[in-house]
Structure 1
Amino acid sequence: MAGCNQHTSSQDNEKKKKKNESLEKVSDISSIQRMLEIVKGAKEFNIPTIRASKKLVGYVNRGLQDPSALIFGNEKSQPLNTKFNYPSLSGIYRPKNDDDITLTFRSSNRRANKDEANYISGAYQNFYAKIGKENTRYNHVLEVVVTYTEELANQQAKDADELLAQGVYLGHLHMIPYGLKDIISVPHYKTTWGSTTFKDQVLNTEAWVYKRLKSARVVLVAKLVTGSLAYDDIWFGGRTRNPWNIEEFTTGSSSGHAACTSAGKVPFVIGSKTVGSMTLPATRCGVAALRPTFGSVGRTGVMSLSESLDKLGPVCRSVADCAVVLDAIRGNDPDDLSSRDIPLEDPFSIDITKLTVRYVDDTKMEAQRARGRLIREVRDNFSVDAFIGDAVDWERVCMGNLVGMPVIVGPAGFTNIYDPPCSNCLRKTAMTTGIYAPPHQDHIALALAMAYQSVPDHHKKRHPIDDLGPNDSISIPPKVA
């Protein structure tokens, strides 16, 4: 009897222990610190945003009669067509300055043969060897990197190189380095969500988008800064700066991605967007960013801000690179109920002279002439194949997100900053434009943007991070010898 009582007591103690552990976890998740972060974000961002956007959805049934961006199912899912047909690569060369490696090969969008791929492989060897050294140079100023995945990058580069040595070439992104927004989980590395509360969090889950890129032998070199809990550009380590004007901050939660790509530290990154988290930083930093049609890219293993609005997409220096990366990461994610296979035409093969495009000024927009109209009305009003307009107009941003339509943002030039610190200041203000297309027509927006970008060379410009004014207090460490 005594033995039974002891056994029962032991079981009770074990249950109490597990209950306490469970309560501790709940307590950690609901900590005062995190609650304060959420409350601050709600007061400064969420509540004002929702109130300002009320007029867009304030009518019968809240516009949900045809909610394509809110559908959780696969009724629109179809088998994917073949991969995009990339132009051939020619004239590649090794830059004299290793800082320019990612800029030289920024057009990873072109199909290379195995010999050219081997050459690219050799050029990147120095890059991978110094991930934690010289590649940290600009991070001191820009604050774009949370974690360097140095060990993982070297192993992935080695694996990719071994395949090349065996004559196996997996295509356009083979051995190209990239970064991930730090809300995307990678086993054995921190996924901080930009939050003080979760700055030591490790999620041993492979995000779906990471698995897609890993299988293509793309090399992850860094987890990049996100604003705390995916709000704006302030994170637990500071605030991310704009490479084109280090007195400016990047805005938007994909802040580290736009700044890192603009600075030429990686050829591309994967960011996320719920409202303006990709297009706003891309506009500030003068890079290209694609917000794909809702459901195009799976989100398993990614912190959720809004299940019905969250989207993943590429941030690159060129629009063509955005097309290539989209081709690698699109497709149905079986663990994401909103994900589906969305067949797209090849943007590299579209004859843009046969498209009808309308330019929309900053005060009007065909697709939202009546602000209360949503999904069905927007589609009915798309009397053109695409329209060009302001990439950061707030009503346009809200409408595009609610409908789930794709938009590509690209640099359209640079102007001198207002009130420069000195007469010969090199700092610039980036100008961008947005090309919008109907849902499931990402290829149209990409084709038009690529045609536009084939003329100017704004995406090839070098940033003036080293251009310090006489009163600047930001110190930049010298180059590593």
Structure 2
Amino acid sequence: MPIRRLSIKLKVWGDPSGASAGAGAALFGERFDWCSSPAGGPMAPTPAMLLGLLLSVSLHAASASRALLQSSPNTTLTGLVGGTSALSTLLSAVSTAGLADTLAGNGTFTVFAPSNDAFTKDIKSIYCIKDYGFGGKCANASDLLAAQNLGTILLNHVVAGSFPASSLANGTLLKTLGGSVQRVVILPNGTVTVGGAPVVTADVAATNGLAHVMGGVLYRDSQFNVTTVGTYLDTIADLGPQVTSPQSFPEARKALMVQDAQDNVDRFRSYRPIVERPDGGYTYPMPLLFDNTQGNRESYCVPTEQPKWTYPETTNVTRPADNETLAYMSVMELAALIKSKQVTSTELVDLYTARLKEYDNVLEAVVTYTTDLAYQQAALADQLLANGTYLGPLHGIPYGLKDLIAVPPYRTTWGSGAFINQVVPREATVYSKLTAAGAVLVAKLSTGEMATGDEWWGGKTKCPWNIAVGASGSSAGPGAAVAAGMVGFALGTETGGSIIGPAAQNGISGFRPTFGLTSRAYCMALSQTLDKVGPMARTAEDAAVILDVIRGKDGIDTSACNVALQSPFTIDVTNLTVGYLPDTPAAALAIFNETLKMKLVPVAFKNSAPDFSALYEVIRGAEAAAYFDYWMRSGNIENNTAPLQWPVRLRRSRMIPAVEYIQATRVRGVTITEMFAAFSGVDVFLGPATTYTSYGNIVNIPEISIPYAFAPATVPSNYTASTPRKSPQNVGIYGLPYSDSKILAVAMAFQKVNTANRQRPPINLIEPEVLANCSSPYSRCNIPAATVALLSQTGINNPPVQIKTYGMV
């Protein structure tokens, strides 16, 4: 029989007075920051203290009428549970977790112990992490015992402090040692429930606390604060002006809305555990596909894989006398040298690995060297060629990947201190495709933390043209490494400008493809309807070859499809109509007009939305908050390198109502319609490279950023007057969805008459004024030595130490 509620005494975790009931909780799932015990003193339990009561605490006498748990003086909980058949599942869990011999520590704890019946009833509601975090609901007890998060599941039944049944007032919030927050609810019949589970046997005393036997497993997380909701209703006018008027919106109606909000949160909790892990959005995509074609997506996407493009033969290429020139050759030039056996893939790995190590200390672009893998792949490429097999232009070409792209067994850190040793166990599709094409991975390159900016856990990636500034982000490492001749090419990702921005900052050719043209499978997901993967290279021709390899459907990313694109190498650009926006750089426009003699017509935006950045922030924010929901609510978000960036953004994004997300998406649809009205009369259109990144990503159209000139860089006033630092000047070439080939064709034509993309940055020169600002080694001096130590060579046979399996927290 469930126990009956006999008395009420309000007691809130962290507030023994009860005066601030619920006030420490956070709205809509925000994590708790309480750190004091119910007695008000500090509480810093050791691991033994955290599990002591569950594992080896001696019990004192309780009521002799206990049906499930009979107290026995001087008997540990482990021993007592072992002698109680109704708690055998709990005993198995404790033993399997390796906790049975853990000694009890000092302190006072309360344990909510699920019975066998409780486990049987709730087993399929418990989230079991397995297979490197790619888990799901437990199917049976075997799944539970094999779960990597078994210890956390057990800790979610332990609360620091003594909470007898008489103190469990309706609405009490209990922070468990496993990180969850459980809510006490008193049912109308007087039954006390914790986290939705009834207390069946209460107040079994122990030397350092007490236990309650539960009729359910505490698998829910009940962080919610009705007091804050009431305040929220007083201040948010978007609920209607009557809500903030006491005359027209009495307290009774407000109380009803508060209860409705609580009911909604209960609904959230009922389904959220199904998809909340793993973090990073690798799994469980929305079953809704973004369509920027006005309902014509099926006319572009075809069921069969499309033939690869044919490429013009690059002839009359000879190996240069110096390695510096060799390092800056284009992919197509390097391909000609490899195919003609003037250079081997192994020699190129030697070259690019040496350059990565030489310049990374300044540029801070490398997260992980994949040296062992690179030499294995290079040896295979060389052997295949010796045997008469040539895989295409990427055969044997060394490259780098943005560190959002998974390549096991190497870590994928997302640039975040919170995921510094994370290993994702599945290969990203784009990596698999590059490997099949013979490309050779030499390094995982930096991303701004969580795909934002150019600062990451290992430093701030610098621009090779001007190391006084960052490389821009978030594909900072790929941008800097390509510009510095440290890799043959790289892949980046873009959500709101993360390919185009670094490409422009570093003076390279960066291509953002049409949404859905490339798979994002096993690349960190920030936004399901905004993320793209694209090439970053020295030339538009290289970008076209790389895109041809990585494009197409993979059966994993539901947004990716096969598109019958014309080869850009067969397009006659003189037959294209090219639009230009009013703010297109004049010098670049003159080249299109006077040198290339293209058909130019003026175009202009036709937009109803006053601020595309507002749309972008709402859509990206809501989707990112969903993909990192567990990470935020667990509190591990505080381990981020920059606690005032994504931790703040994700909390803010939890406050975006579903209604406003849908409204932003509807305005996005209006913008797409207006886009077709504005640009349907042209094949491509020109504009500044980085001005319209929010717009370009809201409508998910393709763009390439290419340099057309260089200007003197803006440097600090104390720099040497003759500094060689420069600032790339760029132009953007845009097009409607799936006009990717036309954009690449126009860019290739431009680079045949303009060679700004072939200039080399002065990376061998560092002004004395720069060195004076930092001790040796330059630029790493403000990074902790332990962090710098992680930036070591990591071969395929010696993965990084202290690997944290993906999805574990």
TM-score of Structure 1 vs Structure 2, range by shorter chain? 0.7 to 0.9
Q: Which residue of 2 aligns with 1:54?
A: none
Amino acid at match of 1:401: N
Rounded to whole Å, the distance in 1 between the matches of 2:326 and 2:177 is 43
Amino acid at match of 1:218: A
Rounded to whole Å, the distance in 1 between the matches of 2:153 and 2:456 is 27
Rounded to whole Å, the distance in 1 between the matches of 2:178 and 2:311 is 46
Residues 401-460 of structure 1: CA distance to partner in whole angstroms, max 9, x if unpaired? 121210011111111123572232211011110000110110010010110011121111
Q: Which residue of 2 aligns with 1:56?
A: none
Q: Which residue of 1 aligns with 2:420?
A: 199
Amino acid at match of 2:370: T
Residue 249 of structure 2 is aligned to residue 119 of structure 1: no
Q: Which residue of 1 aligns with 2:686?
A: 388
Q: Which residue of 2 aligns with 1:139?
A: 360
On the 8 A contact 1:109/1:320 being kept in 2, the answer is: no
On the 8 A contact 1:205/1:301 being kept in 2, the answer is: yes
On the 8 A contact 2:475/2:493 being kept in 1, the answer is: yes
Q: Which residue of 2 aligns with 1:410?
A: 706
Q: Which residue of 2 aligns with 1:163?
A: 384
1:134 CA drift (Å): 4.8
Q: Which residue of 2 aligns with 1:286?
A: 507
Rounded to whole Å, the distance in 2 between the matches of 1:180 and 1:415 is 29
On the 8 A contact 1:178/1:267 being kept in 2, the answer is: yes
Residue 312 of structure 2 is aligned to residue 87 of structure 1: yes
Rounded to whole Å, the distance in 2 between the matches of 1:346 and 1:75 is 18
Residues 215-263 of structure 1: CA distance to partner in whole angstroms, max 9, x if unpaired? 1111000000001111111100110100001111112110111000000
On the 8 A contact 1:67/1:375 being kept in 2, the answer is: no
Residue 729 of structure 2 is aligned to residue 431 of structure 1: yes
1:254–1:66 CA distance, 2 compared to 1 (3 A): closer
Rounded to whole Å, the distance in 2 between the matches of 1:321 and 1:467 is 28
On the 8 A contact 1:232/1:251 being kept in 2, the answer is: yes
Residues 10-43 of structure 1: CA distance to partner in whole angstroms, max 9, x if unpaired? 5313335456434599999989xxxxxxxxxxxx
On the 8 A contact 1:360/1:389 being kept in 2, the answer is: yes
User: Of 52, 59, 77, which aligns to 2:301?
Assistant: 77
Rounded to whole Å, the distance in 2 between the matches of 1:275 and 1:133 is 33
1:319 CA drift (Å): 0.7
Residues 108-151 of structure 1: CA distance to partner in whole angstroms, max 9, x if unpaired? 279749851x3232xx4333236654530100000000000000
- After alignment, is 153-162 or 2-11 more displaced? 2-11
Rounded to whole Å, the distance in 1 between the matches of 2:84 and 2:472 is 61
Amino acid at match of 2:677: D
On the 8 A contact 1:182/1:223 being kept in 2, the answer is: yes
Amino acid at match of 2:695: M
TM-score, normalised by the number of residues in structure 2: 0.51
Q: Which residue of 2 aligns with 1:103?
A: 328
Superposed counterparts of 1:65-464, under 5 Å = 67-68=291-292, 76-78=300-302, 79-104=304-329, 106-108=330-332, 112=336, 115-116=339-340, 118-121=341-344, 124-129=345-350, 133-362=354-583, 366=603, 368-372=605-609, 373-382=670-679, 383-393=681-691, 396-419=692-715, 421-464=719-762
Q: What is the DSSP-based 3-state SS (H/G/I as helix, E as strand, rest coil) of the residue aligned with 2:549?
A: helix
1:88–1:275 CA distance, 2 compared to 1 (3 A): same
Q: Which residue of 1 aligns with 2:598?
A: none
On the 8 A contact 1:69/1:402 being kept in 2, the answer is: no
- Total equivalences in the alignment: 438
Rounded to whole Å, the distance in 1 between the matches of 2:355 and 2:746 is 37
Rounded to whole Å, the distance in 2 between the matches of 1:213 and 1:258 is 19
On the 8 A contact 2:512/2:704 being kept in 1, the answer is: yes
Rounded to whole Å, the distance in 2 between the matches of 1:66 and 1:193 is 25
Rounded to whole Å, the distance in 2 between the matches of 1:309 and 1:11 is 45
1:299–1:257 CA distance, 2 compared to 1 (3 A): same
1:208–1:318 CA distance, 2 compared to 1 (3 A): same
1:363–1:450 CA distance, 2 compared to 1 (3 A): closer
Q: What stretches of structure 1 of length at least 5 have no aligned partner?
A: 32-63
Amino acid at match of 1:330: R
Residue 309 of structure 2 is aligned to residue 12 of structure 1: no
Q: Which residue of 2 aligns with 1:39?
A: none
Rounded to whole Å, the distance in 2 between the matches of 1:305 and 1:93 is 44
Rounded to whole Å, the distance in 2 between the matches of 1:202 and 1:376 is 42
Rounded to whole Å, the distance in 2 between the matches of 1:28 and 1:452 is 62
Rounded to whole Å, the distance in 2 between the matches of 1:151 and 1:193 is 22
1:107 CA drift (Å): 3.6
On the 8 A contact 1:74/1:338 being kept in 2, the answer is: no
Residues 148-184 of structure 1: CA distance to partner in whole angstroms, max 9, x if unpaired? 0000000011111111111011111100011100010
1:367–1:30 CA distance, 2 compared to 1 (3 A): farther
Rounded to whole Å, the distance in 2 between the matches of 1:133 and 1:447 is 34
1:94 CA drift (Å): 2.1
Rounded to whole Å, the distance in 2 between the matches of 1:89 and 1:335 is 35
Query: RMSD between aligned alpha carbons?
Result: 3.2
Amino acid at match of 2:151: E
On the 8 A contact 1:98/1:127 being kept in 2, the answer is: no
1:333 CA drift (Å): 1.8
Q: Which has the higher contact order (CA 8 A, sep 6+)?
A: 1
Q: What is the DSSP-based 3-state SS (H/G/I as helix, E as strand, rest coil) of the residue aligned with 2:91?
A: helix
Q: What is the DSSP-based 3-state SS (H/G/I as helix, E as strand, rest coil) of the residue aligned with 1:472?
A: helix
1:66 CA drift (Å): 8.7
Rounded to whole Å, the distance in 1 between the matches of 2:353 and 2:715 is 36
Amino acid at match of 1:406: P
On the 8 A contact 1:300/1:336 being kept in 2, the answer is: yes
On the 8 A contact 1:150/1:221 being kept in 2, the answer is: yes
Larger Rg: 2
Rounded to whole Å, the distance in 2 between the matches of 1:160 and 1:25 is 51
% identical equivalent positions: 38
1:28–1:416 CA distance, 2 compared to 1 (3 A): farther
1:259–1:154 CA distance, 2 compared to 1 (3 A): same
Rounded to whole Å, the distance in 1 between the matches of 2:308 and 2:397 is 18
Q: Which residue of 2 aligns with 1:21?
A: 151
Q: Which residue of 2 aligns with 1:57?
A: none
Q: What stretches of structure 2 of length at least 5 have no aligned partner?
A: 1-79, 98-146, 157-175, 181-287, 586-601, 610-669, 779-809
Q: What is the DSSP-based 3-state SS (H/G/I as helix, E as strand, rest coil) of the residue aligned with 2:765?
A: coil
Q: What is the DSSP-based 3-state SS (H/G/I as helix, E as strand, rest coil) of the residue aligned with 1:68?
A: coil
Q: Which residue of 2 aligns with 1:49?
A: none
Residues 175-199 of structure 1: CA distance to partner in whole angstroms, max 9, x if unpaired? 0011100010001101000000101
Q: Which residue of 1 aligns with 2:72?
A: none
Rounded to whole Å, the distance in 2 between the matches of 1:191 and 1:219 is 18
Rounded to whole Å, the distance in 2 between the matches of 1:69 and 1:198 is 37
